[in-house]
Structure 1
Amino acid sequence: MIPISIKVVSLDLVKGLYAKFIEWDVEMVDQETGTASYAANTAISEDLGQVEYILTDKTGTLTDNKMIFRRCCIGGIFYGNENGDALKDTQLLDAITSGSTDVIRFLTVMAICNTVIPVRSKAGDIIYKAQSQDEDALVIAAAKLHMVFVGKNANLLELMFNGEMLRYEVLEILEFTSDRKRMSVVVKDSQNGKIILLSKGADESILPSARAGQHTRTIAEAVEHYAQLGLRTLCLAWRELEEDEYLEWSVKFKEANSVLVDREWRIAEVCQLLEHDLYILGVTAIEDRLQDGVPETIETLRKAGINFWMLTGDKQNTAIQIALSCNFISPEPKGQLLLIDGKTEEDVSRSLERVLLTMRTTTSEPKDMAFVIDGWALEIALKHHRKDFVELAILSRTAICCRVTPSQKAQLVEILKSCDYRTLAIGDGGNDVRMIQQADIGVGISGREGLQAARAADYSIGRFRFLKRLILVHGRYSYNRTAFLSQYSFYKSLLICFIQIFFSFISGVSGTSLFNSVSLMAYNVFYTSVPVLVSVIDKDLSETTVMQHPQILFYCQAGRLLNPSTFAGWFGRSLFHAIVVFVITIHAYAYEKSEMEELGMVALSGCIWLQAFVVAQETNSFTVLQHLSIWGNLVGFYVLNFLFSAIPSSGMYTIMFRLCSQPSYWITMFLIVGAGMGPIFALKYYRYTYRPSKINILQQAERMGGPILTLGNIETQPRTIEKDVSPVSIRSPVYEPLLSESPNATRRSFGPGAPFEFFQSQSRLSSSSGYTRNCKDN
């Protein structure tokens, strides 16, 4: 049962404020674009403080999505290797000047195999409007190499090459899809009437379609070389078509476009009929630099116990290099990459078993283990070896998944959610939308690939580095405040209920209420709501301290502030305070000639005084506003009741005037506060002084103004799996949420049987913790 005062008045209001705090945070504004953070979902801010897995896209999320053409390989010749810039390579410029056939074709594919639209500015300059940053980089590079895309009029394309105008008519566009991993255009050369197929795409999509007899070994080596440098690669190809072949194919293509069932599959099948016997021209290498602050952000969040998975459509080597550069994984010997590959079920099974065995046997070593898997092997693993893959997912803190499709990204999120992990997915493009929507928390980056991800997400930020502040500051504060607010609201409601129950016993269970209707109505609406709502600005630690010591997020991840044990504590406090208020009030006033209204007002006054001190005790950072809300609210209680007591028809006429004129009333208040708060203050002093938590240590250091030398070891403990535990049963009691609006949200606690060794272990698989994770088999 959730009191209406919690659900409607308090929680919804403060959750809306949490969202506004995120939007008002000037430190989360991208200064380059002026983009501020935005919270589309106001119900899950506290979930940010309990994130355990972050699944991130690479391009545009970790990187800047500013594509720069750096190198290329055409006809087996490498350009740009010496100076790192193919645009300034004299050998390439000489080949263009001499009219090398392969080079001209290569530049032509770069310039027109795309969906770019050239637009002339008022100054006469050509500006390219591109959906993809890769296409934009290729068209700009081609223009700098004298193959300038100058105009597009309906289906007619115009190129300017060394002062000569070239015109091509676009006959068909074979669009890029995540399954085909390539794009093609069929054009007709207006100069000679030839019909040409131009293609570009991933190496595993283009190279198998090479014509018989063409040696593609040099191209494959170039792709691997560029990928080792962390560059994005695309293979370019060309094929001249016979007119009869094109016309016959065109009919099939139009039929495929008109079907209503399995249209995408039919189109891909028809495209395959044309995209074969390609002449591979070469490969491009494009640089996409990391965003500022990405390595530091990932390092900080990993210290907070958050695991990272990179889900990308790029090549394996490119993804690994980016992962190394942004602290996803540690280089040898501190880190170790385990590769899962294979084209058949048997190969993938053998590779998966080998990696699992390595994970199990090396968990005692302080090594950063990560596994790498591509989309093909992932498809086989999820279909035939899902149980083993789930175990691997739990054992590994880091994963790099390459060449994965949008649906596979969503599947990986679903696997982690099935094990009751709190997941956050972050991306910037349309291919990340399914992953973002599948996760418990979706974060979109307002990037250069549009706003599809940002609009589909719960939160939108301008840069990846803002994720650190979103989780550690806003997520943690929101969780702490919600934990206090929800439990305090139960406490104050139970307090008045217990007093009513006790009174019913001495009144013969007559149904008589100790409090009048006005007091009961005003109790939640006026007397106790303001102080607790102002707790929305309370901070147990400064933002600087939180960012310097991200390990304290473990308390939120473990549900230490909101779980059955803490709720039991507040329940006990309400029962204890109800006994104190009732017993002292009865002994002080029941044997005098007191009216029922006077007795009820004394008990109500005791409740209000106690709650003022409870809120003061639980407040960590006092401001003028908080002092006004706590003590001003106490004064307001008396002001309101003096007004009611001055109204003859109110039923409380002169009661407050009489009570406040009696010394016994103030002595009773003093006794209630002393008896009710004394033991609680003593217990808090004992814990703060003799058994301080890591947060208490940080609070003491803040108040004393001294540095914090160390908070203990934060390295993860060895991950082991009990022999008698099922491979997918790796974690224990999961505390279901007391209050949550997110569909699959859970509040986790390590349970009474497993001491929370805060800085000794953050491992989910430590056998000493004695907990298991129950995953759902899908």
Structure 2
Amino acid sequence: MARGRIRARIRRSHLYTFACIRTQDTELEEPHQFEGPGYSRIVYCNEPRRHEKKPLNYCTNYISTTKYNIITFLPKAIFEQFRRVANLYFLLAAILSLTDVAPFSALSMIAPLAFVVGLSMAKEALEDWRRFIQDMKVNMRKAKVQKGNGVFGHKPWMKLRVGDVVKVEKDQFFPADLLLLSSSYEDGICYVETMNLDGETNLKVKRALEVTLPLEDDMAFKDFTGKIKCEDPNPNLYTFVGNLEYDRQIYPLDLSQILLRDSKLRNTTYVYGVVIFTGPDSKVMQNATKSPSKGGAGLRNRWIKSFTFFSASLCLFHLVTALILYGYLIPISLYVSIEVVKVLQAMFINQDIHMYDEETGTPAQARTSNLNEELGQVDTILSDKTGTLTCNQMDFLKCSIAGMAYGTRSSEVELAAARQMASELDARDSISSNKNGTDASEIELETVVTCKDEKDQKSPIKGFSFEDSRLMHGNWETGAFTYEAESPDEGAFLVAAREFGFEFCRRTQSSIFVRERHPSSEQPIEREYKILNLLDFTSKRKRMSVIIRGEDGQIFLLCKGADSIIFDRLAKNGRMFEEPTTKHLNDYGEAAKTSIGGDREAMLERVSDMMERDLTLVGATAVEDKLQKGVPQCIDKLAQAGLKIWVLTGDKLETAINIGFACSLLRQGMKQICITTNTGYVSTRSNEAVKEKRCVMQITNASQMIKLEKDPHAAWLFICNMLSCLSRQKALVTRLVKEGTGKTTLAIGDGANDVGMIQEADIGVGISGVEGMQAYKILSFLQAVMASDFAIAQFRFLERLLVVHGHWCYKRIAQMICYFFYKNIAFGLTLFYFEAFTGFSGQSVYDDWYMLLFNVILTSLPVISLGVFEQDVSSEICLQGFDSELYKIVRTLTISGGLRRYSIIPSPLSARTKKICSLTGLGYLDGWEMAFILPSLFFFLNVIIFYDQSFRSGGQTADMSAVGTTMFTCIIWAVNCQIALTMSHFTWIQHLLVWGSVATWYLFLLLYGMLSPVYSGNAFRLLVEALAPAPIYWITTLLVTITCNLPYLAHLSFQRCFHPMDHHIIQEIKYYKKDVEDRHMWTRERSKARQETKIGFTARVDATIRQLRGRLTKKYSTLPPQVAMSPS
């Protein structure tokens, strides 16, 4: 009853809680009349069973990100497999092999196809099972639900229904979209963190209707009923319209009463709410885009289509027979081999110890293996800010009070510049001038905050101390309170004020209490300040104010905001510190987020705009938004590699700019163009300005979305660095960048608001290991990670993911595909030559089992070893001085160009074969593809050697089986020796697979010949009785193998001697046992290779060096001539 009386008094009061004002006319609005489509949802509170029947029959709270289920897996997975042109081709060939005109048995065509398709489907099932397990982790989370008679019990999220009354406690996530009924606060407010929805770390205030405030405990819901009429499910996070029918009255609802799924309850013990939208109907899931099917460019390139067309062209000669016979020009095991390789590559990414975050125990995770090689082709990175670049932690850095600057902590840029110049910063020179003169502008204070234990003497604010030495001798303890503010920078202000002697200790609904530590008093003095009103921050006002009454009855208005706004509102007698404060702001601006503070007596009756005038300037503050470890350096490395980096954030414009400076995307002197309208005049001027000078743009709201849709190739699209936009616009911007540039894009984020962006990009990366965010990891991280293709714990690991694994995977896949086509063309053309030799009779020179085992077993394992273990350079070298050049070489090549670059045929030979292609009507094929005619001719020399000649001492001539087996032996030796020459990094596994494949051929030939002639046919005892005793068999194998590989060996030698690539040079250094990890050598090479990127950590360090050198030159010029000319 006591709480009921308190609530009644609050409802009659015009005082508002701290940081929360309820407008007086909120509940005086007329209820909305819902008519027409879009406003048909009806919710019966505390009666969930009524929604299980038609016409309501709302969806459950179960969410799923899987592609298949038990029923749809088989048909959908088969459809996905046969969407590939090559698989469809082999399906047709397998069907035709059942006819009498087929040159091979049906088994030799059906078995490989079934193996390849089955393995691919098994891989799809395994990856989808992992997605299902992660879905269940979310669906099985527990929530307290009213089960009847005022009793609340736990129920899995997936079993929540519309109309359920849910109790959510502090630091828990909301399981569905809820209508707030009451909270632990008497006036029904609660604080909500929506970082997972819009990326903002500021706490939002939600307010229950006054009519539902008496529902203050569990038993109050025993007989509670009500009816809600509201809008239908939609993706708009910032609007809600509805009515609540309760106690025969109708009350209007708006967004301030709605608690959205995946947002988090903060600073509030508990809240009660009724479920309105569940599962797919919730706003966060409505914003989630459908997960697209992504695949690497290697499986979409034109080569596979080219060879399919090539085979189809040859079929014109003799249709069905040739369709099956020349099918071996297309490697049936290419798809499955690439998938096996990608799975193994993904395992190495998952187990990379250098991408393991020890603080959170989170490893890297490759959630899909289809995009490994795309990591080496990224052109543009689109990154979220909150939780991705930053740690959501604000540190108080510096301040300016009454024209005096306090705090001497140097930024990372200044420290890097000092190290690079091999000199100390001269920023502290003003300290000595402060002691010797009266016009000093900076002061360093001398003591540290006392703690209970010497081991704990670590101040929350660095570079600060107190000037008055009497403050050093107090025994006051600090740090007893943990602050959770609506804004992280306000929390930093509270911590700083506490360390400066003003500790915010408690508050009531209308007052706050500050404990002041004063040298003249042994005990802290607690002072009470009445909160009269709060003027909230808005993006239009760019400031916020609080009106308070002190203990002496004086009323103050305290205002903080952007410098441009505050300076315009200063009184004439309040500008005495404007000039030095402006100077300090300029110094702070590059490293931290800045705001201005002011106070003056004001009248409570004035409107907010009139009250916030004639202010007295007090000072400025610099709050550092703590970046994650290694973010500036990672961005600098990626910029040096030629990648374009965008930051998409939902924060206000000023915060976006400040973060741009902090993470080194922006620097002083860079031109900024802020677009806030969608007029053609501004767009035209923007494009002209971009052409004149490199610039950065901040686009607020949706001002340029129409412009982008009409002209995705706008000039500024290619150089924009910072973009301020809302959650849904991130996906649109990502799509426009991807389509406008036509290049590979990567999106990285950590929250549910980044899901659309992650899914829209070619590659999506989720951040999964933010320190101190364990609850966030369980739910919101799952939202981003479940939608992502790769997950890493920190943004800095993106450098290794792209520069090391991206380089390796792309190079491996390129060489692997190149080798695959080499061996299949060389093998398939021998069939074509033999066909011409026999008058196109349709006869095959090889046994059916030879054909079956060629791609599946005898030549697949060496290719897999190449795709998994090959390293042109080590990971340490990738991250050293040549990392940008190596990544650029890979990134700037298309798949076809990349394979041509890594081809195994000299370019002059490729040019000549292009003429052959044009003469034969196949000019669309690349030259290197047809260059394998030469090795296939060497193989066909076996026919000439064995034709009408005895090959044994007894005078026996070779039959068809002996000729075919000898040709097949030469092919096995030649292609495996070819891949051995291609490899530049050997392990015992590669030796085992390469030479083991050759040994497997002889073992199979021996075992196959031991079978009954019914099964082995003409191969019965062929090796033991016919080939092995014949010297010409071994001599032919040796000569053909050497002849086939000699041109490639000569090409490699010529290239390494006269036209070496970067990785060739590094390999030579390693071979001659020079120290490839010599830091001095790489520092020298890196300084030579450094490029002017205009952005990144290096650019800011260079700019700082120029400033420091300018200062030194200026000071040097002021010295007396005899001192300046004296020898050092």
Q: What TM bracket, shorter-length normalisation? A: 0.5 to 0.7
| Paired letter, 1:231 | A
Is structure 2 residue 876 aligned with structure 1 residue 544?
yes
Tell me, in whole angstroms, the C-alpha distance in 1 between the residues paired with 2:511 and 2:333. 64
Is structure 2 residue 626 aligned with structure 1 residue 626?
no
- For residues 308-334 of structure 1, what are the alpha-carbon distances to aligned partners after superposition, in whole Å with 9 as ceiling and x for unaligned? 334445677776676566554676xxx
> Cα distance 1:151–1:432, how it changes in 2: closer, same or farther (>3 A)?
farther
Asked if structure 1 preserves the Cα contact closer than 8 Å seen for 2:382 and 2:748, the reply is yes
| Greater CA drift, 675-684 or 338-347 | 338-347
Is structure 2 residue 397 aligned with structure 1 residue 36?
no
Tell me the secondary structure at the aligned position of residue 661 of structure 1.
coil
Asked if structure 2 preserves the Cα contact closer than 8 Å seen for 1:147 and 1:159, the reply is no
> Of residues 690, 708, 714 in structure 2, which corresponds to 1:390?
714
Tell me, in whole angstroms, the C-alpha distance in 2 between the residues paired with 1:40 and 1:234. 42
Is structure 2 residue 630 aligned with structure 1 residue 308?
no
Asked if structure 1 preserves the Cα contact closer than 8 Å seen for 2:397 and 2:624, the reply is yes
> Of residues 844, 857, 864 in structure 2, which corresponds to 1:513?
844
Is structure 2 residue 673 aligned with structure 1 residue 340?
yes
What does residue range 441-520 of structure 1 map to in structure 2 within 5 Å? Answer: 441-445=763-767, 446-448=769-771, 450-451=776-777, 452=780, 454-455=784-785, 456-520=787-851
> Cα distance 1:687–1:72, how it changes in 2: closer, same or farther (>3 A)?
closer
Tell me, in whole angstroms, the C-alpha distance in 2 between the residues paired with 1:338 and 1:665. 75
- For residues 216-272 of structure 1, what are the alpha-carbon distances to aligned partners after superposition, in whole Å with 9 as ceiling and x for unaligned? 99999699658615322568999xxxxxxxxxxxxxxxxxxxxxxxxxxxxxxxxxx
Report the equivalent of 1:439: 761
Report the equivalent of 1:55: 382
Once the two structures are TM-superposed, the CA of residue 598 in structure 1 deviates from its matched residue by 2.4
Tell me the secondary structure at the aligned position of residue 484 of structure 1.
helix
> Of residues 1013, 1019, 1028 in structure 2, which corresponds to 1:660?
1028
Query: How many pairs are equivalent?
Result: 642
| Paired letter, 1:416 | V
Asked if structure 2 preserves the Cα contact closer than 8 Å seen for 1:209 and 1:278, the reply is no
> Cα distance 1:416–1:167, how it changes in 2: closer, same or farther (>3 A)?
same
| Paired letter, 1:393 | L
Is structure 2 residue 888 aligned with structure 1 residue 554?
yes
| Paired letter, 1:444 | G
Tell me, in whole angstroms, the C-alpha distance in 1 between the residues paired with 2:976 and 2:763. 36
Report the equivalent of 1:405: 726
Report the equivalent of 2:592: 231
Once the two structures are TM-superposed, the CA of residue 613 in structure 1 deviates from its matched residue by 0.9
Tell me, in whole angstroms, the C-alpha distance in 2 between the residues paired with 1:165 and 1:497. 91
Is structure 2 residue 1055 aligned with structure 1 residue 687?
yes
Tell me, in whole angstroms, the C-alpha distance in 2 between the residues paired with 1:286 and 1:684. 58
Once the two structures are TM-superposed, the CA of residue 307 in structure 1 deviates from its matched residue by 2.7
> Cα distance 1:384–1:549, how it changes in 2: closer, same or farther (>3 A)?
closer
Report the equivalent of 1:751: none
| Paired letter, 2:689 | V
> Cα distance 1:382–1:218, how it changes in 2: closer, same or farther (>3 A)?
farther
Asked if structure 2 preserves the Cα contact closer than 8 Å seen for 1:314 and 1:402, the reply is no
Report the equivalent of 1:243: none
Tell me, in whole angstroms, the C-alpha distance in 2 between the residues paired with 1:227 and 1:431. 31
> Of residues 1011, 1019, 1032 in structure 2, which corresponds to 1:647?
1011
Once the two structures are TM-superposed, the CA of residue 29 in structure 1 deviates from its matched residue by 1.8
| Greater CA drift, 409-418 or 680-689 | 409-418
Report the equivalent of 1:364: none
Once the two structures are TM-superposed, the CA of residue 207 in structure 1 deviates from its matched residue by 7.6
Report the equivalent of 2:351: 24
| Greater CA drift, 608-617 or 512-521 | 512-521
> Cα distance 1:482–1:187, how it changes in 2: closer, same or farther (>3 A)?
farther
> Of residues 932, 946, 955 in structure 2, which corresponds to 1:588?
946
Once the two structures are TM-superposed, the CA of residue 482 in structure 1 deviates from its matched residue by 0.7
Is structure 2 residue 1036 aligned with structure 1 residue 671?
no
Unaligned runs of 5+ in 1: 95-123, 192-196, 239-272, 360-369, 720-778
Tell me, in whole angstroms, the C-alpha distance in 2 between the residues paired with 1:8 and 1:353. 45
| Paired letter, 1:496 | F
Is structure 2 residue 861 aligned with structure 1 residue 530?
yes
Is structure 2 residue 694 aligned with structure 1 residue 375?
no
What does residue range 134-283 of structure 1 map to in structure 2 within 5 Å? Answer: 134=489, 137=492, 140-141=495-496, 228-233=589-594
Tell me, in whole angstroms, the C-alpha distance in 1 between the residues paired with 2:611 and 2:848. 87
Tell me, in whole angstroms, the C-alpha distance in 1 between the residues paired with 2:575 and 2:961. 95
Once the two structures are TM-superposed, the CA of residue 665 in structure 1 deviates from its matched residue by 0.9
| Paired letter, 1:358 | E
> Cα distance 1:431–1:515, how it changes in 2: closer, same or farther (>3 A)?
same
Is structure 2 residue 981 aligned with structure 1 residue 617?
yes
Tell me, in whole angstroms, the C-alpha distance in 2 between the residues paired with 1:540 and 1:684. 14
- For residues 61-110 of structure 1, what are the alpha-carbon distances to aligned partners after superposition, in whole Å with 9 as ceiling and x for unaligned? 4444432234578999998784596986689x99xxxxxxxxxxxxxxxx
Report the equivalent of 1:425: 747
Tell me, in whole angstroms, the C-alpha distance in 2 between the residues paired with 1:705 and 1:73. 57
- For residues 595-649 of structure 1, what are the alpha-carbon distances to aligned partners after superposition, in whole Å with 9 as ceiling and x for unaligned? 4332222121111111111111111112222111111221121112211111224
Report the equivalent of 1:638: 1002
Once the two structures are TM-superposed, the CA of residue 523 in structure 1 deviates from its matched residue by 1.4
Is structure 2 residue 338 aligned with structure 1 residue 11?
yes
> Cα distance 1:608–1:319, how it changes in 2: closer, same or farther (>3 A)?
same
| Greater CA drift, 663-672 or 7-16 | 7-16
Once the two structures are TM-superposed, the CA of residue 470 in structure 1 deviates from its matched residue by 1.1
Q: CA RMSD in A?
A: 5.3
Once the two structures are TM-superposed, the CA of residue 46 in structure 1 deviates from its matched residue by 0.9
Once the two structures are TM-superposed, the CA of residue 184 in structure 1 deviates from its matched residue by 10
Tell me, in whole angstroms, the C-alpha distance in 1 between the residues paired with 2:894 and 2:542. 50
> Cα distance 1:295–1:625, how it changes in 2: closer, same or farther (>3 A)?
same
| Paired letter, 1:511 | G
| Greater CA drift, 23-32 or 614-623 | 23-32
Asked if structure 1 preserves the Cα contact closer than 8 Å seen for 2:676 and 2:699, the reply is no
- For residues 14-44 of structure 1, what are the alpha-carbon distances to aligned partners after superposition, in whole Å with 9 as ceiling and x for unaligned? 1112222111111112233333222222211
Q: Percentage identity across aligned positions? A: 29
- For residues 399-439 of structure 1, what are the alpha-carbon distances to aligned partners after superposition, in whole Å with 9 as ceiling and x for unaligned? 44264434454444333312212222334445544433332
Tell me, in whole angstroms, the C-alpha distance in 1 between the residues paired with 2:887 and 2:968. 38
Unaligned runs of 5+ in 2: 1-84, 88-115, 117-331, 408-441, 446-460, 472-478, 517-524, 552-556, 600-606, 904-924, 950-955, 1095-1128
Q: Which has the higher contact order (CA 8 A, sep 6+)?
A: 1
TM-score where L is the length of structure 1: 0.67
Asked if structure 1 preserves the Cα contact closer than 8 Å seen for 2:444 and 2:464, the reply is no
Larger radius of gyration: 2
| Paired letter, 1:599 | V
Asked if structure 1 preserves the Cα contact closer than 8 Å seen for 2:701 and 2:726, the reply is no
Tell me the secondary structure at the aligned position of residue 748 of structure 2.
strand
Report the equivalent of 2:325: none
| Paired letter, 1:288 | D
Asked if structure 1 preserves the Cα contact closer than 8 Å seen for 2:593 and 2:658, the reply is no
Report the equivalent of 2:735: 414
Tell me the secondary structure at the aligned position of residue 766 of structure 2.
strand
Tell me, in whole angstroms, the C-alpha distance in 1 between the residues paired with 2:731 and 2:869. 36
| Paired letter, 2:589 | Q
- For residues 287-320 of structure 1, what are the alpha-carbon distances to aligned partners after superposition, in whole Å with 9 as ceiling and x for unaligned? 1244443443333333322233344456777766
Once the two structures are TM-superposed, the CA of residue 159 in structure 1 deviates from its matched residue by 6.7
